[in-house]
Amino acid sequence: MDKGASNFIHEIIERDIAAGKHGGRVHTRFPPEPNGYLHIGHAKSICLNFGTAAKYNGLCNLRFDDTNPTKEDPEYVEAIKEDVRWLGFDWEEREYYASDYFEQLYQYAVRLIEMGKAYVCDLSAEEIRAFRGTLTEPGRESPYRNRSPQENLDLFARMRAGEFPDGSRTLRAKIDMASGNLNMRDPVMYRIMRATHHRTGDAWCIYPTYDFTHCLSDSIEGITHSLCTLEFEDHRPLYDWFLDQLGVFHPQQIEFARLNLSYTVMSKRKLLKLVEGGHVAGWDDPRMPTLSGLRRRGCPPEAIRAFCDRIGVAKSNSVVDLALLEHAIREALDPRAPRRMAVLDPLKVVITNYPEDQEEELPAANHPKDPSMGERPVPFCREIYIERDDFMEDPPKKFYRLAPGREVRLRYAYFVRCQEVVKDDSGRIVELRCTYDPETRGGNAPDGRKVKATIHWVSARHAVPAEVRLYDRLFSEPDPAARERAGQDFIAALNPDSLVVRPNARIEPSLASARPGEPFQFERLGYFTQDGPDSTAGRPVFNRTVSLRDQWAKLKHKTKTG
């Protein structure tokens, strides 16, 4: 990770350290709610929180903000831990849960009641909303606002004891119903909700709200710099109020812009809708912006870290081009992905002058720029497969690959010339009959003659059948969420061609031992990895991580050269 990069948050922290604030200590946390899988936006927060702690020799906690039992699940807790670890970060023994603080939070609430700063309110959720006012109109005070601390203490204890039905009462902070900030208009601190919590079971029938819990959890953990996204800027006065009223340790909240990526959605609610609606194969579908999806697709964690470094941390929201993420993935994969050959849409080629009973192994470099990655032998024989679209019977002017009578180079092998096209009854080309020049072994002609194209191939006798999945953007519109803002369903923006399956691909035999996540470049086709969940022993599935074409590099080049 680039420890030198600076951003406005690091500037604040450096000033704090210089001023001796918190004794120069830096302690951050990543606080996910376990109500879904982590996505690339969370990665920005993870890299920022763990990266900042590392940069200033501090600590970073992993804390689950688990105050919503009906939406949370231990499945999500486990997935989140796996993803943070995979990204390359370690919370050591500091794995915390807001639910571990429920008793202490209750005691804080009692203290606020005793101070006359909180009250039990009998308004329904709807009434509270109606009393709240709007941005232009002040709210109205609840008729229960002036209950005595004694009465409130008694009612709050009975709320906890389960004497009242769900939703019948709340505990509210007594702040200011006329505040210009709606968050300060006597916000709810506790609601009655009979729901089994994944950690506390049925111990509680009242649950603290996120706003009450979050700031105090940070305080309990001694978090010095509480980094959060911009939408919490308006909540900061409320957090300050709770912390100041209670006189407890006061973390400093600093807001930064959340990451938005084009051609995808990032809110967990929308991602859950994609999963539950069967629009994707699950949270880890390789088209999803989730970390588990990116991992399954073959994106290495260092690409995500480099991407997060590059986008930096800003104070205003913006949308990052998906092409920049793909660029980071290519940059990470290019130096370390061994080259291989695979044919996605095979067309059989019989080399008529190659002896039927002969086979040979040709050496092929694993990486064109890195000899230390060595070579592997690629088997060759009389029947091979080439890519169907590398042949044209009646080629247009700019098509230089195989055509009747034309000679091309087979990568790492020989020159071959197409002599005959074989078709089935329907006129579909089913086979090419070619001749090879034995003098061109390794790909060069001793007489110096040139060919205009080099194509990839696999040996028909040795290749392994495989399914290859090609992915495109999940949505065909850059901002699918705009549909929702216009009162429509964002599902309508899905790209119908986001997954294209090549069921009859053939891959070179050395790929049979590939492991999920292990990166390869299939020459001329892109970067690929084996799919963990769907591969079977006899039939591996490969996911294309990214194609070779780099739109971002092209864009950059254009702007540089004017």
The answer to whether 305 and 86 are in contact (CB under 8 A) is no
Pairing of strands 342-343, 429-436: unpaired
With CB under 5 A as the contact rule, which of the stretches 31-39, 288-296, 297-305, 366-374 interacts with Mg ion?
31-39
Q: Of these partners, ligand ATP, Mg ion, none, which one is at the site of residue 32 (CB under 5 to 8 Å by kind)?
A: ligand ATP
| Size of the residue set binding ligand ATP (CB under 6 A) | 14
- Residue 73 beta carbon to Mg ion: minimum distance, rounded to whole angstroms: 15
Among 22, 27, 42, 185, binds ligand ATP (CB under 6 A): 42
Nearer CB in complex with ligand ATP: 142/264: 264
Phi-psi region of 459 (alpha: psi -120 to 50; beta: other; left: phi over 0): beta
How many residues in the chain? 562
Nearer CB in complex with Mg ion: 221/407: 221
Question: Using CA atoms, how far apart are residues 202 and 359, in angstroms rounded to an integer?
Answer: 70
With CB under 6 A as the contact rule, which of the stretches 40-48, 167-175, 183-191, 367-375 interacts with ligand ATP?
40-48
Question: Using CA atoms, how far apart are residues 260 and 526, in angstroms rounded to an integer?
Answer: 26
Joined together, the tokens standing for residue 449 give 């003659």
- 368's CB contacts (< 8 A; 6+ apart) are 339
With CB under 6 A as the contact rule, which of the stretches 132-140, 260-268, 383-391, 529-537 interacts with ligand ATP?
260-268
With CB under 6 A as the contact rule, which of the stretches 116-124, 266-274, 360-368, 457-465 interacts with ligand ATP?
266-274
- Residue 562 beta carbon to Mg ion: minimum distance, rounded to whole angstroms: 43
95 is catalytic: no
Binding of residue 266 to ligand ATP (CB under 6 A): yes
Q: Of these partners, Mg ion, ligand ATP, none, which one is at the site of residue 392 (CB under 5 to 8 Å by kind)?
A: none
Question: Using CA atoms, how far apart are residues 227 and 376, in angstroms rounded to an integer?
Answer: 49
Nearer CB in complex with Mg ion: 481/512: 481
33 is catalytic: yes
Q: Of these partners, ligand ATP, Mg ion, none, which one is at the site of residue 214 (CB under 5 to 8 Å by kind)?
A: none
Nearer CB in complex with ligand ATP: 213/440: 213
- Residue 268 beta carbon to Mg ion: minimum distance, rounded to whole angstroms: 8
Question: Using CA atoms, how far apart are residues 142 and 121, in angstroms rounded to an integer?
Answer: 7
| Size of the residue set binding Mg ion (CB under 5 A) | 1
Pairing of strands 499-507, 454-455: unpaired
Count the neighbouring beta carbons within 10 Å of the beta carbon of residue 94: 14
With CB under 6 A as the contact rule, which of the stretches 262-270, 284-292, 354-362, 371-379 interacts with ligand ATP?
262-270
Question: Using CA atoms, how far apart are residues 172 and 57, in angstroms rounded to an integer?
Answer: 39
Cα→Cα distances 277→3, 33, 281, 473, 487, Å: 42, 22, 10, 18, 19
What radius of gyration, in Å, describes the C-alpha atoms of the chain? 31
| Phi, psi of 278, deg, nearest 5 | 70, 20
Phi-psi region of 33 (alpha: psi -120 to 50; beta: other; left: phi over 0): beta
Which residue has the closest beta carbon to Mg ion?
Answer: 33
Nearer CB in complex with ligand ATP: 59/228: 228
- Residue 309 beta carbon to ligand ATP: minimum distance, rounded to whole angstroms: 14
Joined together, the tokens standing for residue 544 give 């294309």
The answer to whether 208 and 109 are in contact (CB under 8 A) is yes
- Residue 247 beta carbon to ligand ATP: minimum distance, rounded to whole angstroms: 25
Binding mask 205-244 for ligand ATP (x = CB under 6 A): -----------------------xx---------------
Binding of residue 258 to ligand ATP (CB under 6 A): yes
The answer to whether 65 and 45 are in contact (CB under 8 A) is no
| Phi, psi of 152, deg, nearest 5 | -65, -40
Catalytic residue among 29, 191, 268, 473: 268
Name residues contacting ligand ATP, limited to 182-201 (CB under 6 A): none
Nearer CB in complex with Mg ion: 254/555: 254
| Phi, psi of 88, deg, nearest 5 | 105, 20
Binding of residue 464 to ligand ATP (CB under 6 A): no
Q: Is the dihedral of CA 352, 353, 357, 358 positive or negative?
A: negative
- Residue 41 beta carbon to Mg ion: minimum distance, rounded to whole angstroms: 11
Q: Which residues pair with 252 in a beta bridge?
A: 225
147 is catalytic: no
Give the helix/strand (H/E) hosting 67: none
- Residue 253 beta carbon to Mg ion: minimum distance, rounded to whole angstroms: 15
- Residue 66 beta carbon to ligand ATP: minimum distance, rounded to whole angstroms: 10
Q: Of these partners, ligand ATP, Mg ion, none, which one is at the site of residue 31 (CB under 5 to 8 Å by kind)?
A: ligand ATP
- The residue type of 330 is R
Q: Of these partners, Mg ion, ligand ATP, none, which one is at the site of residue 516 (CB under 5 to 8 Å by kind)?
A: none
Catalytic residue among 132, 140, 145, 258: 258
- Residue 108 beta carbon to Mg ion: minimum distance, rounded to whole angstroms: 21
Give the helix/strand (H/E) hosting 173: strand 170-173
Query: Which has the closest alpha carbon to 414: 356, 342, 357, 353?
Result: 353
Greatest distance between any 2 Cα atoms in the chain? 103
Active site residues: 33, 258, 268
Catalog residues that contact Mg ion under the rule CB under 5 A: 33
Catalog residues that contact ligand ATP under the rule CB under 6 A: 31-33, 41-42, 44-45, 228-229, 258-259, 266-268
